[in-house]
Amino acid sequence: MGKIKKSKNKKQQLQNNNRNRDLAALFFALLSFASAYALVAPQASGLFGKSFQNIMSQLFGTGAYVVPLLLFWSFIVRISKSFELKGRLDFIWSLATLVSSSVLFTFSGILFSLNTYGGWLGERFYPFFEQLFGMWLGFSLVSIVFIYSLASLFRISISACVIGFFKGLKQDISKTKEEENAPKIYEKKPGAAVKKEPEEKEKNPKTEPLKPPNIVDKKDEQRDKAAAQKILNEEKKAEKIDSKSFNYKLPPTSLLKNDPVINFAANKDDLLARAQLLRTTLADFDIAAEVKDIIPGPVVTRYDLLLAPGVKIQAVTGIIDNLSLTMRTSAIRVVPIPEKAAVGIEVPNPDGLIVGLRAIIESDAFIKSSSLLTLALGKTTDGEGYVANLAKMPHLLIAGATGSGKSVGIHTIILSILFKARPDEVKFTLIDPKRVEMPIYKDIPHLYNPCSCAADADIITNPREAASALKKLVTIMDDRYKKFAKAMVRNIEEYNSKMAETGQEKEFYIVVIIDELADLMLVAQKEIEDSIQRLAQMARAVGIHLILATQRPSVNVITGIIKANFPARLSFQTTSKIDSRVILDMLGAEDLLGKGDMLFLNQGESKPARLQGAFVSLKETERIVGFINDQNFPRIYEPAAVEVTPESFDPMAEKRKKDLVPALNLIYERRRVSQDLLKANFGSSSRATNILSLLETQGFIKKPEGTNKWQINYDKIEEYLEKNHTQGG
């Protein structure tokens, strides 16, 4: 305790000394500039400036100009000893940016006859730079001050930018030289080079050891490699032609079970009795309503009510629990029906029926859909098949608690596309950290792994491999954009149409399905989130679509960045209202029945549609996969070239690291940590969130399961602060 108290007192004394140095440094900085301004531009500095210039000139003569330099040196000495230099210089950089921009506008208006005005600051400070350095040199100096102060304020390293520019220029030059030299090696005629070497050996034998050994063998080896690569490319072309001409057959619907026949006529009396019970219950609570329509479905029956004039919908939603008790059911959902000017009350059936996939696959909506990415999601509450187009969504976010039907829904999505697309038209990148749901698809020719060749493509189960695959998909997306720009088309549909007219190779769609996003985010959140963000924002036009699923729809997994780029949401039953708000931005998912009962919010729609998801058994899936694999369709695609790029400079990451020390000082002094505390001291919620995440990942704080309070490791904070101060001093 004595050691900690002594260290704390030492830290407090250090902070007080730093605060005094800051004030002294600011004083000397202002005094230095004021004295320089008075000496250089006394006419514009008022009575004080003129008096100061006369006194200093009489005392020191021309040596008076040394006084501002000495004052500026005093500023440098004091500010260099200050703790956390950049954080305390923000005010100075902001002031320098403001003043230099005003002077810069004044210079621009005078030099280039532009309609720019620097205001009172520009007019006051312009004579100082003009008289001291002249017009052009003063303009250049002010420009440099403006750029440097702006870069310092936003933590942008000018040296890193310049070094990166010259490195990139050097790499471009080296690549250009390699491209220029490479054809000369292979296109050179063998006669001249081979014949000259023996003649040179005979004329001057002493120079023979100076030649690199086996140079002729290396050239032969290069020629052999080039020839082998050429043969391999020809074989690939031949295989591609064979795959296009391959008589591939889509799976027949006979591989699926027939849906059970629903006989609603037999239950007509029960439906009318339940409608009367519903009306009576509403009347008991002084809600006058009339049952207009009864729409029975496989799992839920909807009763459309016409409310009496003056009765609010909120009056019905306020007695949902009473309605559930009277109707003897677990969950009732109230939805407005604008087209009927009615209120729909969805009541679960006593005996729900299983919805099969076959009836939806055989429906006109699915058959007539021209999109290869048509999804047979399930049936609506009135028993009609519901079909959606993934290409228009363009990405889908799925969430649901354990046992709610999420995994079966993913299988239904995959099988829907398998019933529509050939392996050379649509490919799947399947990421399954749980290792239990996706292995059944490991041998289908639709499988695609951007980090491996077609023969080695498999289900991705390792989180690090998943991060690499998503990062590689970003590279593939950029390459496709370049290819489409060269072909002067806007999207994959136009590109494939143009290739069909010219007889060239088309591009295939890529559907990325992640079965459990939460497990990936635990291991590599930053890499996963960055790749998903880029793909979600731009990949639609090049035919790459994402389907993300998780059973934990928390804000740590489904972040704001991910939600902003996934307008289409599909929610199965959730365990809480909070999870329903996270996935749908509204309540309702917590009242679902489970076992495939879902709410689907499509892009552009304000309210979700309630669906009963189609059920596909394991045996049905095995029959479909077996039918596809028995055709022996060649698994062919060109793997993307692996590019090893140096780690780029991340200014935001650097800024977060520099925020660590002041945040630790704050926590050590206040003996607590919270989002509000960091926000109050660092200025924004996003910055506070980043600092809080950094503190947790570094092990300074932790939040045990079952609690909402941070535990602080004061010993580690003290050790880090002492080490940081020692290195900084």
The model's pLDDT over 388-411, given as tens digits with 9 standing for 90+, comes to 999 999 999 999 988 888 999 999
Shared domain for 682 and 621, answered yes or no, is: no
Strands 609-613, 300-307: pairing kind: unpaired
Asked whether residue 213 is assigned to any structural domain, the reply reads no
Average pLDDT over residues 579-592: 88
Quick one: what percent of the chain has pLDDT higher than 90? 22
pLDDT recorded at residue 78: 73
434 SS3 class: coil
Which residues constitute the domain of residue 533? 358-629
CB 480 within 8 A of CB 661: no
pLDDT recorded at residue 680: 84
Average pLDDT over residues 69-75: 78
Give residue 211's pLDDT band: very low, low, confident or very high (50, 70, 90): very low
Q: Is the pLDDT score of 186 beyond 50?
A: no
**Higher local confidence (pLDDT), 635 or 214:** 635
pLDDT recorded at residue 677: 87
> 41 vs 38, 129, 357, CA distance in Å?
5, 9, 86
Q: Is the pLDDT score of 241 beyond 70?
A: no
- Identify the weakest region by mean pLDDT among 94-98, 143-147, 194-198: 194-198
Give residue 643's pLDDT band: very low, low, confident or very high (50, 70, 90): very low
Per the prediction, the chain carries an average pLDDT of: 78
Sign of CA dihedral 411, 412, 417, 422: positive
Asked whether residue 543 is assigned to any structural domain, the reply reads yes
Phi, psi of 60 (to 5 degrees): -115, -10
Q: Is the pLDDT score of 559 beyond 90?
A: no
Asked whether residue 110 is assigned to any structural domain, the reply reads no
Shared domain for 339 and 364, answered yes or no, is: no
Shared domain for 416 and 451, answered yes or no, is: yes
Q: Report the CATH number at residue 274.
A: 3.30.980.40
> 675 vs 458, 578, 599, CA distance in Å?
42, 20, 33
**Higher local confidence (pLDDT), 560 or 275:** 275
pLDDT recorded at residue 447: 93
The C-alpha torsion from 270 through 271 and 273 to 274, rounded to 10°, is 110
Asked whether residue 92 is assigned to any structural domain, the reply reads no
Q: Report the CATH number at residue 656.
A: 1.10.10.10
pLDDT recorded at residue 543: 94
Average pLDDT over residues 589-618: 89
Q: Is the pLDDT score of 234 beyond 60?
A: no
Which DSSP string corresponds to 709-724? S-EE-HHHHHHHHHHH
516: left (phi over 0), alpha (psi -120 to 50) or beta: beta
Shared domain for 460 and 520, answered yes or no, is: yes
**Higher local confidence (pLDDT), 274 or 723:** 274
Asked whether residue 414 is assigned to any structural domain, the reply reads yes
Quick one: what percent of the chain has pLDDT higher than 70? 79
Shared domain for 312 and 286, answered yes or no, is: yes
Asked whether residue 577 is assigned to any structural domain, the reply reads yes
Average pLDDT over residues 510-531: 88
Shared domain for 450 and 529, answered yes or no, is: yes
CB 505 within 8 A of CB 240: yes
Shared domain for 344 and 389, answered yes or no, is: no
Shared domain for 490 and 521, answered yes or no, is: yes
CB 406 within 8 A of CB 599: no
Q: What ranges in 246-312 are assigned the alpha helix state H?
A: 268-284
Question: In terms of residues, how long is the chain?
Answer: 729
pLDDT recorded at residue 483: 92
Q: Is the pLDDT score of 683 beyond 80?
A: no
Q: Is the pLDDT score of 656 beyond 70?
A: no
Shared domain for 375 and 295, answered yes or no, is: no
- Structurally, the chain folds into a number of domains equal to 3
307, 329, 348: which is the final residue of a domain? 348
Shared domain for 610 and 580, answered yes or no, is: yes
Give residue 650's pLDDT band: very low, low, confident or very high (50, 70, 90): very low
Q: Is the pLDDT score of 272 beyond 80?
A: yes
> 7 vs 84, 439, 673, 726, CA distance in Å?
18, 58, 20, 13
300, 322, 348: which is the final residue of a domain? 348
pLDDT recorded at residue 508: 93
320, 348, 376: which is the final residue of a domain? 348
Which DSSP string corresponds to 584-606? HSSS-GGG--STTEEEEE-TT-S
Shared domain for 694 and 579, answered yes or no, is: no
Q: Report the CATH number at residue 508.
A: 3.40.50.300
Asked whether residue 695 is assigned to any structural domain, the reply reads yes
pLDDT recorded at residue 238: 41
What pTM value is reported for the model? 0.56
The position carrying tokens 């677990």 is 330
For residue 644, the 8-state DSSP code is: -
pLDDT recorded at residue 192: 38
Average pLDDT over residues 359-375: 92
Shared domain for 543 and 567, answered yes or no, is: yes
Asked whether residue 174 is assigned to any structural domain, the reply reads no
